[in-house]
Structure 1
Amino acid sequence: MAVVVSVSGSPSAGSRTARLLRHLDARLTADGHEILPLDVRTLPAEALLGADFSHPAIIAATALFERAEGVVIGTPVYKAAYSGVLKALLDLLPQHALAGKTVLPLATGGTTAHVLAIDYALRPVLSSMGAAHIVQGWFTLDRHIAVRDDGDVTVAPEAAGGLDQAVATFSSALGGRRPVLAAAG
């Protein structure tokens, strides 16, 4: 179906944001999409902070975006905005790196006070980068994401339905099979 870059904008190795994205990657793979995961925290700090457009890791990250038809961008919310490492990466990508692409913005945070970060902080940047279609994003509270001992993720029912719908809408926009959503009951 479609090639999707799944970007974790979390600076933390054990972040709920990153684990949630990898959980969703499996769902999108089941829909027939090819997933190219990118954890921004693994890119060299000197390249990100020094705006080194010619660094091989930045060139490779840019190539992932060029291959993609869709992009999932996940970020923790800090001080009512998306993460600094994500901002650093987005600043290094070409101005129209998202041109013609379908984008799903996702955010996690500790309080619902940060829910508007997707629409007021992240969406304008994605739009300025030429995204053809930004599907309705989803904010998940940290407490609704449980990481089991085996590393798998469970999303609390309060958040699961909306998250499932956001992912289904994204997958459908890419031409994937729309997952059957479980009926509430």
Structure 2
Amino acid sequence: MSRLSIVAVSGNTHRPSRTRFLVEAIAAEVGGWRSIDLDVFDLLDIGEEISAFSRDALAPRAAAVIHAIEAADGLIVGSPVYKGSYTGLFKHLFDLVEPHALAGKPVIASATGGGHRHALVVEHQLRPLFGFFGAQTVPTAVYAGREDFADGALSPPLQQRVADAAFEFDRLLSLGNTDRRPVARVA
């Protein structure tokens, strides 16, 4: 079986970051199911280059990240919660992705916040974002509050959600959806 290209994107704007830690933990769990080629990016890796208003104006580093996202076999994404949603720069990054490029791709969506009152961000913000692209988000939402990170490790309930999402992601990858035509949209 050939190695699949997985891109993990974290919407963190500082380091250290619980969001990046969670995204990397999810990627490690996915790597336990199969051999993958993994690229992990966060907004700090892209820097100010992401502020371009169009794809044509992107500097090389930001353009390479967009290309990696579009070319990946699957995505692991995460964002910290700011004012009830994902970060604006995280959204802008995906605004620069070609709409048809993610059609059919498996996606694990995750978010981190101060407490569990923001847990539905994955369902009400991230899932619709990737639904627009026609991507296949796994059924298990992965949200982590501050209390889910103790002593540099994931809490047992969070670790279980990560494991469940990785299993579902692996199943979607196994389907081998190579037909990446755009999903028909109602105007």
After superposition, the CA RMSD in angstroms is: 1.8
Compare the two structures and name the one with the higher helix fraction: 2
1:101-153 alpha-carbon deviations (Å, 9 max, x no partner): 1111011111211111111111111111221x1112211112212364xxxxx
Whether 1:27 and 2:29 are equivalent positions in the alignment is yes
In terms of mean alpha carbon deviation, does 53-62 or 116-125 score higher? 53-62
The equivalent residue for 1:182 is none
The equivalent residue for 1:49 is 51
Match of 2:137 among 129, 134, 137: 134
The equivalent residue for 1:168 is 167
State the Cα distance separating 1:52 from its structure 2 match: 4.2
Question: 1:13-162, aligned counterparts within 5 Å?
Answer: 13-31=15-33, 32-45=35-48, 47-54=49-56, 55=58, 56-131=60-135, 133-136=136-139, 137-146=141-150, 148=152, 154-162=153-161
SS of the counterpart of 1:100? coil
Distance 1:63 1:127, change over 3 A: same
Count of residues in Structure 1 that have an aligned counterpart in Structure 2: 169
SS of the counterpart of 1:97? helix
Unmatched tracts of structure 1, length 5 or more? 149-153, 177-185
The TM-score, its normalising length taken from structure 1, stands at 0.83
Unmatched tracts of structure 2, length 5 or more? 176-187
SS of the counterpart of 1:175? helix
Give yes or no for contact 1:52–1:58 (8 Å, CA) kept in 2. Answer: no
Give percent identity, aligned residues only.
30
